[in-house]
C-alpha cells in the first residue's frame, strides 16, 4: 500500500531537484514519517544519491525517520512560552504520558516533541495536539487533555 501511495504522489511531480523538499513533505503528510524505502525511491526518482535525500531529510526539523504516534503533541519552546512556564508544562506532559521529548510510545498512541515557536505567543504557554494549537496551558489542562498511558515504553528517535 505504501508503495502505491508513493507512486501516486511521485506521479504529480516532474523529478526536479527543487521538488525534493515538497515531495518529502507530501510523503510524510501521508505516511506520517519517511520510511527508508521511500527515501531510496525518491532518490531514484529525482536522480540524486540516496545520501543526498538522507542528508536533507535529517537536516530539517520537520522530517521524521520513524513512525509517529496517533497523537502528536508538540510543546512550544518559544521565548514567551519559556518565561511563562513552558518548561513546567513539558515536564508535566512528560510525567503524565511517560515519554521524554522526541519519543514515541510503543503502542504508537503518543509522540512528544518540542517546536521552536508556533507564533501564538500572546497566549503562552501553548502546545499543539496534531493540528490544533491549545493556548494558555496549565497543569490542569494537561491532565484533562491526556489521560495517563499505562505503560509508556518508548521508542527513541
Partner 1 sequence: MTNEQKSILVGLGTCGISVGAEKVFSSLEKEVSNLNLTENIHVKRTGCQGFCQQEPIVVIEPEGFFYTKVNPDDAVEIAHSILLGGKPLERLFYREPITGKPIPHYRDIPFYSKQERILLKNCGKIDPEDIDDYLTVGGYQALRKALLEMTPEEIILEVKGSGLRGLGGAGFPTGLKWEACRRTTCEEKYVICNADEGDPGAFQDRSVMEGNPHSVLEGMIIAGYATGARNGLIYVRAEYPLAVKRLKIAIEQARQNRFLGGHILGSEVDFDIEIFQGAGAFVCGESTALVRSIEGKRGRPKPMPRARTTEIGLWNRPTLLNNVKSFANIPLIISNGSEWFAQKGTEKSKGTAIFSLTGKVVNCGLIEVPMGINLRKIIYDIGGGIPGGKALKAVQTGGPSGGCIPADMIDTPVDFDSLTKIGSIMGSGGMVVMDEDTCMVDVARYFLDFTRRESCGQCVPCRLGTKQMFEILDDITKGEGRPEDMDLLIELGEAIRRSSICGLGRTAPNPVLTTLRYFRDEYEAHIYEKRCPSGVCRVRKGSD
Residues lying near partner 1 in the complex (CB under 8 A) are found at: 16-22, 24-25, 46, 48, 55-56, 59-63, 77-84, 115-124, 126, 131-136
The CB-of-153 to partner 1 minimum distance in angstroms stands at: 26
Peptide bond into 101 cis (omega under 30): no
The CB-of-131 to partner 1 minimum distance in angstroms stands at: 7
**CB-wise, 1 or 122, nearer to partner 1?**
122
Distances from the Cα of 70 to the Cα of 33, 104, 106, 127, angstroms? 12, 10, 11, 16
Q: Tell me the sheet residues that pair with 79.
A: none
Residues 73 and 129: beta-carbon distance below 8 Å:
yes
The CB-of-134 to partner 1 minimum distance in angstroms stands at: 6
The CB-of-14 to partner 1 minimum distance in angstroms stands at: 12
Q: What are phi and psi of 54, to 5 degrees?
A: -65, -40
Residue indicated by cell numbers 504508537: 108
**CB-wise, 43 or 149, nearer to partner 1?**
43
The CB-of-107 to partner 1 minimum distance in angstroms stands at: 26
What gap in Å lies between CA 15 and CA 127, rounded to an integer? Answer: 36
**CB-wise, 25 or 139, nearer to partner 1?**
25
**CB-wise, 19 or 109, nearer to partner 1?**
19
Q: Are strands 71-76 and 110-115 parallel, antiparallel or unpaired?
A: parallel
Grid coordinates given for 142: 494537561
Grid coordinates given for 61: 526539523
Q: Tell me the sheet residues that pair with 154.
A: 105
**CB-wise, 17 or 37, nearer to partner 1?**
17
Amino acid at each position: 500500500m505504501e508503495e502505491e501511495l508513493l507512486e501516486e504522489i511521485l506521479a504529480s511531480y516532474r523529478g526536479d531537484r527543487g521538488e525534493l523538499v515538497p515531495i518529502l513533505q507530501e510523503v510524510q503528510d501521508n505516511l506520517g514519517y519517511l520510511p527508508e524505502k521511500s527515501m531510496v525511491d525518491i532518490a531514484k526518482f529525482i536522480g540524486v544519491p540516496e545520501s543526498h535525500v538522507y542528508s536533507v531529510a535529517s537536516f530539517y526539523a520537520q522530517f521524521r525517520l520513524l513512525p509517529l504516534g496517533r497523537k502528536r503533541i508538540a510543546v512550544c519552546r518559544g521565548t514567551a512560552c519559556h518565561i511563562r512556564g513552558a518548561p513546567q508544562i513539558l515536564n508535566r506532559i512528560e510525567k503524565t504520558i511517560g515519554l521524554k521529548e522526541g519519543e514515541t510510545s510503543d503502542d504508537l498512541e503518543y509522540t512528544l516533541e518540542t517546536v521552536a515557536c508556533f507564533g501564538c505567543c500572546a497566549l503562552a504557554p501553548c502546545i499543539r495536539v496534531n493540528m490544533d494549537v491549545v493556548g494558555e496551558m496549565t497543569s490542569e489542562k494537561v491532565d484533562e487533555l491526556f489521560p495517563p498511558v499505562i505503560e509508556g515504553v518508548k521508542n527513541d528517535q
